[in-house]
Structure formats: C-alpha cells, structure tokens
Amino acid sequence: TMPTFSWEAFPGAVDYHLDVFNSTGEAVLRTDVGEATEYAVETALILGEKYQWSVYAESKLGIRIAHYSSFYFTVADTIGTGTTVTGRAMWNDQALPIASVIVVAEGNSPIDANQLAKSSVDADGYFTISFTGTGNHTLWVMAPNSEEYFGKGRRVVPDPGKTVDLGNVYVAKKMTVLSPTDGFAYATLTPTYSWEAFPDAVDYSVVVWNTSTDPSTKIFTGSVGNVTEYTLDSALIPCCLPDTDYQITVTATSASGIDFAHSGGPNFTVENGTTVTGRAMWNDQALPSASVTAVPEGTSHTTTNPAATGSVDADGYFTISFAGTGSHTIWVKGPPDEYQGIGKAVEPDPGETVDLGNMYVAKKMAVPTIAYVLLPNGVDHRFEFSWEAFPDAVDYRVAIWNTSTDPSTEMFQDSVGNVTKYTFESSLSLDTEYQFSVTAISGVKEPGSSAGIQFAYYSGLNFAMP
C-alpha cells in the first residue's frame, strides 16, 4: 500500500514533480522530489483503490521539458494476496545479470505501459518478483540490448500467497537469416532457406509457417543439423503453394543443448513466376563458377534484395525463377576479380519458361593508357589509346562516349583490327568529359552467327581535353 515510483533520468532535468490521482481524478499526492529518480510514498494508499500517477521534469530555467503519465494501477497487499515468482536469467550457460523482469497479463506485450510488476536480477542472474491479479500471466526476462537479444516469456498461473519457481529462463541472441528476404515474393515452390552461422552452434532447427491461414499453420518443424542452408523436400513437405504467404524462423542450439540464438521470422510470398534457363559461358568454355541473379530492370545486380539468385551446374547450365511484374534483367557473373558480368532483359511470363541460350561473360582487360600526341603535320593533336594484347584475340572494338551529356552520347564505336593502339582522328571539345572502352574479339564464333565472341573487355576509362 506504500509503493515506490521510479523513472529514468531525463537529460537536463534538475527537478521532478510527482502527482498521484485516485479513480475520481482527485490528487492524493503532489510533491517535488528534486533530482531523485524515485519516490517512496509515506502515507498508505487505499487497498483495492485504482490510482494513476504522473511525473514531469523541469530544467534549470523552471520549464517543463518532459512528462510521463501512467495507466491506472491498483494497490494490493502483495505479501498476503500476491504471487511471488523466482528464477534465473540465463544466456546459454551464462548468467545474465543485466536483464530485467516484467510481468504482464497473458497476451499483453512486455513493453506495455501497464506492466503489473517489474524488477531486476542480481549479479548471478537470480530474480524475485511479485504480482497480483487473476487469470494467466506472462513473466518476461528482457536483456537491455534489444538489437542483440530476444526476450523470453514464461506463463505463470497465479497462486496467491505462494512462490512459483521457474528455474532457468533462457533468452536467445539474435541471428541473421540470409534468405528468403523479408517481404519478398519468390517464384520457386521449394525455396532454399539460408542463414549466417552462429558461433559455437552445433545444430539448427527450422520452422516454416503458412501465414495465409488464420491462425497460422505450422507446415514444417525439425532439426536440420549443423548446416547454414536447407531446402524442404517437396515430395514430403507440402510447401509451398502459389499466392500464399509464409514465414520462417531458425534457432541455433549450443553444445549444452540450449536454444541460444534465434531469428525473427522473415515473411515471404510464393507466386506463380517466370522460369529462365540458359548457359554461362566464357568464349567456347562453360563457366561452372558463375552465379545467376534476377533483378528488376534498372536495379543493380549487386542489390541486397534480388528477385532471385541461383548457380550453374558443372556444364554451365542454369535454371532460375522469379516473381514480379515489369521487365527484369538476368545477370550472369563470374568471379568478380577476373570477369565482367553480362545481363539480358526478360519480360515476365508467369508459368512459362524463357530460354536465353548461351550468355557470354567477358574477362577483364588491363587498364588502357591514353596519350595526347602531336600529329605528323606538326600542328594538330589527337588522343592515342593503347592496350595490352589479349591472348587469342583476333580483333578489337573501340568505343568513345561523351559522358557530359545525360544520357551519355556514343561518339564512335567500330572494329579497329588486331592492333593494340588506336588514334581518334576527330576533334574533341574542351570542358567535356569522355569515356573510352575496348573489347577483345575471339576467333570463336557465336552459334548461328558470323560474329566472334566478345571475350575480354575494359570499360570506364574517363578522360578530358588537357
């Protein structure tokens, strides 16, 4: 009947004022408490009466700079009629002395402003907390860093005047799911789930929910071993259906058998998508080290939210499916230190397969050089571009762009023969930016074409008039 009110210090506050009101709105307590951040009531409040309290902070100028007002609370004799709960806050096999303990009515959030009781733990993680009320309650153990830890809730059935011991209450750290991407639509009916390895984990368990049903339906739960990706066997598990929403959670288990890390559930949708096939090639060779990415047209192939990702088999062949409207680009990329990527546009055709045939990536050429040389007439100057010969090249194509315009303007593009030097004969303008690129052509022809394969490339050498 003589509760203690407490609050967090507010920056710049030099005085706090506390008010307590009864259920009719009458003030039963008004007091200045100075710079303190708690106040113990000196006159007993009425047992069973509802009250509301508020506190505001004042600056040294006497200005109210912050305010808090509570929901109603009820005074009860917690010694005679309350339920006491004990336990220990833990993470893995370690005590968690920085945790807080909160009791709320079952179904309420632990961050609910109308918490029924709140306490802290000692240096060894142990806690004792009491609450009053009927009906099931939830005791939450919360770590202070919500970006690192999930809270853990345990049901408590009130037993007035008794003590309920919950034993160890294990919170979990947060882990990262890499795929699927939260909020994304996928075309594959058997998506692959992947996550970052959590230090010292020896096993992972996966749970998949169909969230289109009400309530949500658990369609898979199980241990998948010490791996970082898992694909449901569609022959055994009824996942996934087109135009249906799903959610996945992943839990890491330590060698102690404790679930010590967990992912929040990314939500994803399965849609009837477009399937794309093709073959990753370099020159006349399959490129089994390539990766394949689908992105909306105009989106970078390095985006963290691609429409779909995939790999190629030992012979370079790939199959990838994506969902969504509007043009998309399929990118085939070799190891980035050695290769340039190649992109091809695809118009979505849900339920159908689009074959792109061979997609030829190019190796990277060495950086060309540029010289501003005097022509034989002794008067005019021109730009001379040089590059290293690429093995087995039979021709080179040169392109020059005016990059001062928006969009850039192509000024020249043509074959220059099997040479490693080219002088651009046309005059260029002052105060204008340009870009040079060179492509090496192989003696190998593309199937069904007389054109040689563009198998090496350098792009993006910027220059201007000196």
Note the pLDDT of residue 202. Answer: 97
Q: 205 - beta bridge partners?
A: 223, 251
Note the pLDDT of residue 339. Answer: 95
Q: Measuring CA to CA, how many Å separate 423 from each of 372, 387, 402, 427, 440?
A: 9, 12, 17, 11, 17
Half-sphere exposure of 5 (CA within 13 A, CB side): 26
Give the integer Cα–Cα distance in Å for 243 and 183. Answer: 13
The three state secondary structure string of 364-401 is ECCCCEEEEEECCCCCCEEEEEECCCCCCEEEEEEEEE
Could you count the other beta carbons within 10 Å of the beta carbon of residue 335? 11
Give the integer Cα–Cα distance in Å for 21 and 70. Answer: 11
- Do 216 and 247 form a contact (C-beta atoms < 8 A)? yes
How far, in whole angstroms, is CA 225 from its chain's centroid?
24
Q: β-strand 184-186 against 267-270: which pairing, if any?
A: parallel
Note the pLDDT of residue 449. Answer: 87
Give the integer Cα–Cα distance in Å for 183 and 265. Answer: 11
Maximum separation of any 2 CA atoms in the chain, in Å: 109
The three state secondary structure string of the chain is CCCEEECCCCCCCCEEEEEEEECCCCEEEEEEEECCCEEECCCCCCCCCEEEEEEEEECCCCCEEEEEECCCEECCCHHHHCEEEEEEEEECCEECCCCEEEEEECCCCCCCCCCCEEEECCCCCEEEEEECCCCCEEEEEECCCCCCEECEEEEECCCCCCEEEEEEEEEEEECCEEECCCCEEECCCCCEEEECCCCCCCEEEEEEEECCCCCCEEEEEEEEECCCEEECCCCCCCCCCCCEEEEEEEEEECCCCCEEEECCCCEEEECCCEEEEEEEEECCEECCCCEEEEEECCCCCCCCCCCEEEECCCCCEEEEEECCCCCEEEEEECCCCCEECEEEEECCCCCCEEEEEEEECEEECCCCEEEEEECCCCCCEEEEEECCCCCCEEEEEEEEEECCCCCCEEEEEEEEECCCEEEECCCCCCCCEEEEEEEEEEEEECCCCCCEEEEEEEEEEEEECC
Residue with structure tokens 């040169």?
Answer: 398
Note the pLDDT of residue 79. Answer: 47
| Whole-structure pTM value | 0.57
Contacts of residue 391, Cβ cutoff 8 Å, sequence gap at least 6: none
Could you count the other beta carbons within 10 Å of the beta carbon of residue 117? 19
- Do 329 and 345 form a contact (C-beta atoms < 8 A)? yes
Pull the structure tokens for residue 30. 């008004």
Domains annotated on the chain, with CATH: 4-74 (2.60.40), 78-174 (2.60.40.10), 177-270 (2.60.40.10), 274-363 (2.60.40.10), 365-464 (2.60.40.10)
Query: How long, in residues, is the chain?
Result: 466
Q: Which of 104, 132, 106 is nearest to 118 (CA)?
A: 104
Split the chain (466 residues) into runs of 10 and give each run's mean pLDDT. 80 91 87 89 76 88 83 58 91 93 90 80 93 91 90 94 95 90 71 90 94 90 93 67 86 96 87 89 95 92 84 92 89 93 93 93 94 74 91 96 93 95 85 94 91 93 86
Note the pLDDT of residue 426. Answer: 81
Give the integer Cα–Cα distance in Å for 365 and 385. Answer: 14
Give the integer Cα–Cα distance in Å for 295 and 322. Answer: 9
How far, in whole angstroms, is CA 316 from its chain's centroid?
30
Note the pLDDT of residue 71. Answer: 55
